[in-house]
Structure 1
Amino acid sequence: QAPKGGRSDQITADAVPKLNQAAVAAGNADIDAVSGATYTSAGYKQSLQSALDQAGG
């Protein structure tokens, strides 16, 4: 779950498309954080890795 409220909403809206693009390009959860979106990036990577583990990837 991404951080919610105030500025966090804008940071998440900006960061998630960049994280999606990086994950597709990498083919795994080993991606760099988006500058200024440390918590969003960390949560995204953790969620992505969990989903890949559950899918057997």
Structure 2
Amino acid sequence: MAPTPVRRCRTHTVPCRCRSPSPGGRITAVNVPQYPSGGRSDEINARAVPTLVSETLGAQSARVDMVSGATFTSEGYTTSLQNALDQARA
């Protein structure tokens, strides 16, 4: 199998990288290399980011529920993920 392409996109405050074995293939991994931090953000994101990634892998799309109490992270994540998926399909 050829190396898996990594698509990157930064929108709002949460850059995402998603992996799929081929264009249009299943999402096999999502990496969130940085997200808002400091103060209460650390606590919120420790819960929100794994939940968003898990939901993405299950849904196989960026259409996932927002995480309660993590509106900015959820919005930034889903926007960035959708952009990364769009780039992977291009």
TM-score, L = length of structure 1: 0.90
Task: Specify the alignment match of 1:25 in structure 2.
Answer: 58
Task: Specify the alignment match of 2:42 in structure 1.
Answer: 9
Identity rate, percent? 56
Structure 1 unmatched ranges of 5 or more: none
Amino acid across the alignment from 2:68: S
Task: Specify the alignment match of 2:88 in structure 1.
Answer: 55
Using the TM superposition, give the Cα deviation of residue 29 of structure 1 relative to its aligned residue in structure 2, in angstroms: 0.3
Give the greater-gyration-radius structure (CA): 2
Measure the CA separation in 2 of the matches of 1:10 and 1:47.
Answer: 21
Tell me how many residue pairs correspond in the alignment.
Answer: 57
Task: Specify the alignment match of 1:41 in structure 2.
Answer: 74
Structure 2 unmatched ranges of 5 or more: 1-13, 15-34
How much is the aligned-residue C-alpha RMSD, in angstroms?
1.3
Amino acid across the alignment from 2:88: A
Structure with the higher fraction of residues in helix conformation: 1
Task: Specify the alignment match of 2:31 in structure 1.
Answer: none
